[in-house]
Structure 1
Amino acid sequence: MEFKEYMKKFNQIMEPYILPKPWSPVEEALYKPLNIFDVPKKEADEMRFKAMKYTFKHHYENNAFYQKFCKENNVTPDDIKSLDDLVKIPLLEDKFFKDYPAGNEFALWLANIFTGKLPNVVINKKNPSFEDVITAFNKAGLIISYSSGTSGRHTVIPRDKKTWMLSQYALAKSVVTMVYPFPYWKDNAYVQWLMSNPFKTNIFAGKIGEVLYHIVKNSDCAIDRQVTAELIRQAMTGGFKSKIIQMAMKRENKKTINKLVRWLKERDK
């Protein structure tokens, strides 16, 4: 199968993830290239500039917190006139997304940094946990995910569903392009997601894998259990409880390895 037909098949399968036209510069940069790893430099630079300026303008106009931050740095969207100006765009340090309060204050922090119209978020607990707050936001229609927290704090970034769908499409398109000409749509195609079950975690590295279950019918995951921030925290904090969790995780790791070996043997028949 020619690559053009291969990607046409991909876009047919991914139709629910493709937003209707007219597309923004961001969406055009993602959807338009046939091969995202082989775009002429001039064309790539033009798409990159338009997409980044559009994104900057969007956040500047729809996020009061970020607009204030930009004004403190004396930069507005009108200052971005060429590729060389992109370095002027004010960026928040990664540690900002790790420096959040707890409980209901965490919910307020999320609400203040979110870009766009916030849905009605209901938190029923008086003293909600980190996971309680994130679950409440996700039930309201947002997608709040976080990093694994190996640095000691989880990086938390709120997204709306539209942005999340674009992220998933980008992942799927990248993977499918790299494995060409693998016929992932066929009934005898299998994929093992070497992460936690994307439907049982809010960790970004696991959750983003939801889209692979859409494009490959026979998809499985290495860790098929609920993985929460509290579980990770307890495993990393030390002490007796941490040792118990680490011992349990070692047993689970052995089970996972045995499961993967069986899976590979079955596929090798």
Structure 2
Amino acid sequence: MTIRSTPWPDGTPTWVDLGTDDVEAAKAFYTSLFGWDYLSGGQESGGYLLAQIDGKAVAGIGPKQDAQMPTVWTTYIGSSDVDASAQAVLAAGGQLLAPPFDVMDSGRMAVAVDTVGAVFGIWQAGSHIGSERVNEHGALCWNELHTRDDDAAKEFYTAVFGYQYNDISSEGFTYATLRRADDASEVGGIQKDTQLAEGMPNYWLTWFAANDVDATTATAGELGATVLMPAMDSAFGRMSIVQAPQGEIFGLITIPSE
């Protein structure tokens, strides 16, 4: 478990949020699954909620800004200068769905599309640093890009965030971890996903830690989720992938060791 009160270093996946058609249904699902409580951002936030564990923020849930958009968990990568990061996105061949804007006093953000078509956010901390608790049951513990073109993705994210990569591929598995520019800490991953269905976009997958992956996966199913990958052992711990009732996909994995 990690508790943090200061902004995360640049290049760290620091926050995830869910845009959904039915906020109340999402609240009920994740409360039952992870025990989350919620703090309202007030009327100015447009119905946005901070999901919390013991009073510390772990994720966001809010209504979709566009009803035509899919219901997904969005990964936000930390930046001390979101305007500069947004310009780097454009220079590297990406696009901006939402140019940088202030979110009250919480921070400043942008929403971008990389050169392989995956959507991600950029977050510059104000009063809200992003995740205040990570690496514990019901909290964020990993983010990874699933893409058909990992080489193009690596080139893009190096240009924007200065990442280096540690190739941990094995037979039938092409994967590299993202190493943060300032200290080479491993903060995420890029997987060449040969199983992406035709027409499905490349995407960032959010992983939440679980005390008991099998039990949490079973609970998700009882709550109406679809189990896309049953609980299985891996070199990184026991893991599963589920799709919640409103369509968002996320992973569950054994709590990482310190």
Query: Taking structure 2 as the reference length, what is the TM-score of the superposition?
Result: 0.35
Higher helix fraction (1 or 2): 1
Query: Taking structure 1 as the reference length, what is the TM-score of the superposition?
Result: 0.34
